[in-house]
Chains A and B, each alone.
Chain A
Amino acid sequence: MITGNRALYEQVILEHNKTPRNFREIEDADRKVEGYNPLCGDHFTIFVKLDGDTIADISFSGKGCAISKASASLMTAMLKGKPKSEAETLFNRLHDLVTSNPDDPVDEKALGKLQVFSGVREYPVRIKCATLAWHALAAAFEGKEEVSTE
Chain B
Amino acid sequence: MTLTQHGEETETAAQARPFTPPEVAAIRRDFPILQTLRAGKPLVYLDNAATSQKPLAVIDATTQYYESENANVHRGIHALSERATEVFEGAREDVRRFINAGRVSEIVFTRGTTESINLVAQSYGRQNVGPGDEVLLTTMEHHSNIVPWQMLCNERGAVLRVAPINEAGEVDMEAFRGLLSEKTKIVAVTHVSNALGTVNPIKEMVRLAHGVGAAALVDGAQAAPHMPVDVADLDCDFYALSAHKMFGPTGMGVLYGKEALLDAMPPYQGGGDMILSVTFEKTTYNKLPHKFEAGTPNIAGAAGLGAAVRYLENLDRRRIAAYERELLEHGAETLEQVPGLSFIGTAAEKAGVISFQLADVHPHDIGQLLNEENIAVRAGHHCAQPTMERFGVAATSRASFAFYNTKEEFDALADALGKVRELFA
Contact = CB atoms under 8 A, between A and B. Distances in A.
A129 to B, nearest CB: 7
B1 to A, nearest CB: 34
Contacts of A89: none
Contact of A41 (B361, B369, B381, B420): B381
Interface of A: 1-5, 8-9, 14, 17-18, 39-43, 63-67, 69, 123, 126, 129
B243 interface: no
A51 B380 CA distance: 40
Ranked nearest first, the 6 interchain pairs of A and B with the lowest CB-CB distance are: A41-B394, A65-B362, A2-B419, A65-B364, A66-B365, A41-B395
B373 A2 contact: yes
Contacts of A2: 369, 372-373, 416, 419-420, 423
B314 to A, nearest CB: 38
A3 B394 contact: no
B424 A17 contact: yes
Contacts of A8: 368
A66 B373 contact: no
A2 B412 CA distance: 12
A49 B134 CA distance: 50
A14 B422 CA distance: 11
Contacts of A43: 394
A64 B362 contact: yes
7 contacts: A2-B419, A5-B368, A9-B369, A40-B380, A41-B394, A65-B364, A67-B365
A115 B141 CA distance: 42
Contact of A123 (B362, B363, B368, B395): B368
A40 B362 CA distance: 10
A126 B388 CA distance: 22
B380 A66 contact: no
Given A3-B423, A5-B368, 15 more contacts: A1-B372, A2-B369, A2-B372, A2-B416, A2-B419, A9-B365, A9-B369, A9-B423, A18-B424, A40-B380, A64-B362, A65-B362, A65-B364, A66-B365, A126-B364
B369 A5 contact: yes
A17 B366 CA distance: 14
Given A2-B372, A4-B372, A63 B424 contact: no
Contacts of B364: 40, 65, 126, 129
